[in-house]
Amino acid sequence: MIYKAMRFCGLVSLLFMLFTSQIAPLTVNAFTGTYGINYGRIADNIPSPEKVVQLLRGAKIRNVRIFDFDHSVLQAFSGTGLELVVGLPNGYLKDMSENADHAASWVKDNIQQFYLRLVLPLGYLLGAAKNIHKATKSLHLDHKIQITTSHHFGVFDNSYPPSNCTFRDEMMQYMKPLLEFFSQIGSPFCLNAYPFLTYMSDPKHIDVKYALFEKNAGIVDSQTKLHYDNLLDAQIDAAYAALRAAGFKKMELIITETGWASHGDPNEDVATIENARTYNYNLRKRLALRKGTPMRPKIMLKSLCVCNVQ
């Protein structure tokens, strides 16, 4: 599970979440267990979707995110018991936002027959999310499909110490109504969190062991006095603090992307295969603890890991 330096992280993206259970629960759960992967398909000699399904089931991985709605992939995953997160490409957002009928047709053609799970990007985001939710409701799929958005860490400001974090002022005109809508329909806040990128922004003051979940002194939040022994937990609690400051302190948070670069620029000497393996291994150990963060210790951490299945 290795990948090159992450240069593709947008601020926000729209997702559909597909649930394969035949008996729908009264509430839509955003995640099964604590761990999953992002299934990238831009590579050479990749296995077929059917083979990927076999590999994932053999590895007992239940949560999978893909970045488009290729029907060969959706068909391969349909009925397997795996839970799929399907990305809606940004190019579709304007049309989905302005035309409810087109949103309904898209959901019917690409979601209804597969029972998916959905996520969206900025600008036309709220209108698109509302129209797609309306479409799922008209098709009686709103109790099976969850709609939310994934956000890059760049939407935040003042993330150190974690308890001081807020949304950037220029983002609030978009984030506030979006979060209000997701709060109404019970959707989680999804975050793409890369300790590698945060470490590279200040390598003189951040211990790489702190970023890799290895033994280190950690940091103490000067306001809450909470101790952090890894950077990912600190990033998550920074997001919780921003949500609380915006008025959404009870909103669930899920990590939709995280990982470590295996190759990078000449100045990125920590972008190695060894460190990528260490991060992914220690991340899975952290998730296996089935515990929360220092700020939200009773809320189990859930995460998808970025990797290319090869």
Residues in contact with 74: Cβ distance below 8 Å, sequence separation at least 6, in sequence order = 84, 86, 110, 114, 116
pLDDT, tens digit, 9 for 90 and up, residues 186-238: 999 989 899 999 999 899 999 999 999 999 999 999 999 999 999 999 999 99
The interaxial angle of helices 100-107 and 125-138, nearest 10 deg, is 60
User: Nearest 5 degrees, angle CA 117-CA 121-CA 123?
Assistant: 140
Alpha-carbon distances, residue 290 vs 71, 197, 276, 308 (angstroms): 34, 25, 22, 25
More confident of the two residues 167 and 117: 167
Cβ pair 230, 286 in contact under 8 A: yes
Confidence check: pLDDT of 183 > 90: yes
Instruction: Calculate what percentage of the chain has a pLDDT beyond 90.
Output: 35
**Could you give the 3-state DSSP secondary structure of residue 102?**
helix
Rg from Cα positions in the chain = 19
Closest CA to 20 of 117, 103, 88: 117
**301 vs 232: CA distance, rounded Å:** 11
Nearest to 62 by CA among 103, 26, 27, 19: 19
12-307 homologous superfamily: Glycosidases (3.20.20.80)
Both structure tokens of 147: 């709609």
Determine if the pTM surpasses 0.85.
Answer: no
**92-129: burial string, b at 16+ Cβ within 10 Å, e else:** bbeebbeebeebbebbeebbbebbbbbbbbbebbbbbb
How far apart are the two ends of the chain, measured CA to CA in Å?
8
**More confidently predicted of 123 and 100:** 100
What is the per-residue pLDDT across 104-127, written as a single tens digit (0 to 9) for each?
A: 887 777 766 665 444 545 567 888
